[in-house]
Amino acid sequence: MKAMKALTLPSSKWDSVVGNSDYISQEKLDGYRGLLCVNNFDIRLFSTQGINRIKQIPYIARSIKSSPILPYTVLDGEIYCKGMTSAEISGLMHRKDIIEANLQLEYHIFDILSFSGVVQSTSSFTHRNKVLQENVKPLISSPFVKFLETRKDHVTHFQEVLDDGGEGIMLKNIHSLYYEGKRPANCWYKIKKQDTWDVKIIGFTSGEGKYDGLIGSFIYELQDENGLLYEGSCSGMNDIIRRDMTFSPHLWLGEIVEIEGMELTKDGVIRHPRFIRIRHK
């Protein structure tokens, strides 16, 4: 029994996957992957290497044991603690002793392989998620066990995760089965913060909605390693900087700022760029 794996979303599939209603998004947690197996006798948490690490998460184990969850249930999730890196969490999961930091760990559930002895991996993600939400979630009441939400607004979700200090999102095909130990195409894709670029501000666009009367975004110029120049627009500024750009645009024109995005395409387009900080001001 092994966990299913995800592919990094290639640029050739961006337009066909991002925003596609056949895919939902979930936050990609930077933690420690584990399959939680419940049977009649005990509970085990198997790492990607197949090692039982349940002793390293006593509060989580106690929460599951005290719940009326039925035996022969296998859940897929991530051991996680906001503010800790995956290396720090992995270190805690490999310790022989338990320290206070282990008691801060949570188990975030995002899929199910079987429920009460009934195999779920051969059903669609939509069905599996319904089983999680309607059959498993009501049985577990614990601050140490969470269930990842699913979203359809992929780009907004991605930006919110980054704004909150997260790593990225997973895009999952709602029709896909669960392929144990495999990394199949057209099923799960991961999108993470990829890179940053220094760009020059050369103009602005007008804001709309809540930004009516203010700058909506700035137009930037990007020079690649071959000296070619590309233009794009970027937002994501806080309200203080947005107002400063609005009422003192002359102070910003020509300034160098750092922006981040999902990727730089071969056409010089930064996908979903957002403002990070001022370089020279």
In this prediction, residue 183 has a pLDDT band, given cuts at 50, 70 and 90, of very high
DSSP-assigned beta bridge partners for residue 25: 151, 171
Residue 66 lies in domain: 7-192
pLDDT at 228 over 90: no
Both 176 and 257 in one domain: the answer is: no
Q: What is the CATH number of the domain that holds 238?
A: 2.40.50.140
Query: Is this prediction's pTM over 0.85?
Result: no
Q: pLDDT tens digit string along 188-215?
A: 999 887 678 889 999 999 999 999 999 9
What DSSP string describes 90-138? HHHHT-SS--GGGGG-EEEEEEEEEETTEE-TTS-HHHHHHHIIIIIGG
Both 79 and 212 in one domain: the answer is: no
In this prediction, residue 281 has a pLDDT band, given cuts at 50, 70 and 90, of very low
Both 229 and 101 in one domain: the answer is: no
Q: What is the pLDDT of residue 110?
A: 98
Residue where a domain terminates, one of 159, 192, 225: 192
Looking at every residue in the chain, the average pLDDT score rounds to 91
> Mean pLDDT throughout 83-105?
89
H-type alpha helices, 10-85 = 14-17, 58-65
| 219 located within any domain | yes
Count of the separate structural domains present in the chain: 2
Both 121 and 68 in one domain: the answer is: yes
- pLDDT above 70 as % of the chain: 99
Query: β-strands 274-280, 188-192: how paired?
Result: unpaired
| 69 located within any domain | yes
pLDDT at 123 over 60: yes
| Range of weakest confidence among 139-143, 153-157, 193-197, 249-253 | 193-197
Whole-number Å distance between alpha carbons of 232 and 252:
16
Q: What is the pLDDT of residue 253?
A: 96
Q: What is the pLDDT of residue 194?
A: 67
| 60 located within any domain | yes
Q: pLDDT tens digit string along 144-178?
A: 999 999 999 999 999 899 889 888 999 999 999 99
Residue where a domain terminates, one of 143, 166, 192: 192
pLDDT at 79 over 60: yes
The radius of gyration of the chain's CA atoms, rounded to the nearest angstrom, is 22
Q: What is the CATH number of the domain that holds 178?
A: 3.30.470.30
Both 145 and 211 in one domain: the answer is: no
pLDDT at 96 over 50: yes
Our measurement of the distance from residue 92's CA atom to the centroid of its chain's CA atoms, rounded to an integer in Å, reads 22
Q: What is the pLDDT of residue 41?
A: 78
pLDDT at 9 over 60: yes
Both 171 and 206 in one domain: the answer is: no
Both 118 and 253 in one domain: the answer is: no
| 1 located within any domain | no
Both 24 and 129 in one domain: the answer is: yes
- Assess contact for 202 and 230: CB atoms under 8 A: no
Both 57 and 182 in one domain: the answer is: yes
| 2 located within any domain | no
| 178 located within any domain | yes
| Range of weakest confidence among 67-71, 155-159, 256-260, 276-280 | 276-280
| 124 located within any domain | yes
Both 85 and 127 in one domain: the answer is: yes
Both 160 and 227 in one domain: the answer is: no
> Mean pLDDT throughout 16-26?
96
